[in-house]
Amino acid sequence: METKENEKVLRLQTVLEEALKPITAKLETLEKDVKSVQKAQEELKKMVQKER
């Protein structure tokens, strides 16, 4: 009985991992984009401070 439950859990875990792959990939891309924007903001901030 316990073996069947373990198999169900493993199958469900595999299905969930597969379903979450595209979402995880998008989140990783968003994270890179956010870092890029933050870096650009810092560079702009430095440029503005130099002009003052």
- Say what the pLDDT of residue 51 is: 86
- CA atoms of 34 and 26, how far apart (whole Å): 12
- Say what the pLDDT of residue 13 is: 97
- CA atoms of 42 and 48, how far apart (whole Å): 10
Structural domain boundaries in the chain: 1-52
More confident of the two residues 1 and 48:
48
pLDDT tens readout for residues 3-52: 999 999 999 999 999 999 999 999 999 999 999 999 999 999 999 999 88
| Residue 1 clears pLDDT 80, i.e. is over it | no
